[in-house]
């Protein structure tokens, strides 16, 4: 949506923190020029609307231009080893989305939870059929039909959702399993069971500590 400087100014006048989700160096530079407090470097791996550059290719590029502005890594992050890697590269934190979708605290349709638990990274795809802009979702009968030979081209945003919104709402309301889909990133590979948010966090921390310990030993050996 862009980062209008006047909006960032109004955010700060209200004592709030302004952050921007960026998918390229030029987006990061525009956000910095507007005066944001935080950058979220979101890569191609992410669920939802995303850009063409992978997370761990994008992250160091954004860090190079960020200066003293903190950078959060996002996109496809679902394992503690990735958290450790992002910290080692220079990020201050990671931002996770897909990993929470099947948690007990998240109210998602049971049929969609089942899809997530069975999905691999390869089962996500970029499609314009959701909103008119590239969006990573779980593949389904919906995306199959929009990507089939001879299918019409999706309309530009926001017209695609104006066109399909009532149908998508009806699919969700009536639980038409073959057409249900949800935005999801490639980190869906680690969504393997229904569990609590606390269990997810505990696992991420344990995995990250193991990776950081290994890194520390390598540095010590050098």
For the stretch 31-56, pLDDT in tens is: 999 999 999 999 999 999 998 999 99
Domain annotation covers residue 101 = no
pLDDT tens figures, 86-102: 999 999 999 999 999 99
Helix/strand/coil for 71: strand
* CATH number assigned to the domain comprising residue 54: 3.20.20.70
Phi and psi angles of residue 83, each rounded to the nearest 5 degrees, phi first? -60, -50
**pTM of this structure:** 0.91
Mean pLDDT rounded to a whole number for the chain: 95
What's residue 1's pLDDT?
A: 57
* Nearest in space to 187 (alpha carbons), one of 211, 203, 210: 203
In a domain, 120, yes or no: yes
Show the domain range for 179: 110-190
The number of domains in the chain is: 2
């Amino acid at each position: 949506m862009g980062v209008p400087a006047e909006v960032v100014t109004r955010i700060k006048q209200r004592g709030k923190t302004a952050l921007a989700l960026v998918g390229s160096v030029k987006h990061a530079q525009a956000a910095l020029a507007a005066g944001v407090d935080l950058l979220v470097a979101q890569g191609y791996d992410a669920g939802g609307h995303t850009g063409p550059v992978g997370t761990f290719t994008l992250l160091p590029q954004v860090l190079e231009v960020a200066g003293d502005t903190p950078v959060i890594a996002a996109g496809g992050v679902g394992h503690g080893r990735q958290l450790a890697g992002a910290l080692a590269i220079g990020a201050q934190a990671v931002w996770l989305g897909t990993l929470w979708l099947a948690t007990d605290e998240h109210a998602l349709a049971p049929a969609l939870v089942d899809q997530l638990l069975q999905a691999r990274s390869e089962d996500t795809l970029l499609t314009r059929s959701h909103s008119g802009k590239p969006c990573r979702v779980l593949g389904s009968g919906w995306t199959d039909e929009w990507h089939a030979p001879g299918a019409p081209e999706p309309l530009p945003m926001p017209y695609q959702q104006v066109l399909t919104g009532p149908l998508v709402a009806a699919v969700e309301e009536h639980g038409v399993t073959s057409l249900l889909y949800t935005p999801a990133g490639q980190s869906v590979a680690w969504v393997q069971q229904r569990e609590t948010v606390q269990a997810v966090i505990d696992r991420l921390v344990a995995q990250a500590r193991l990776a950081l310990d290994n890194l520390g030993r390598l540095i010590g050996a050098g």
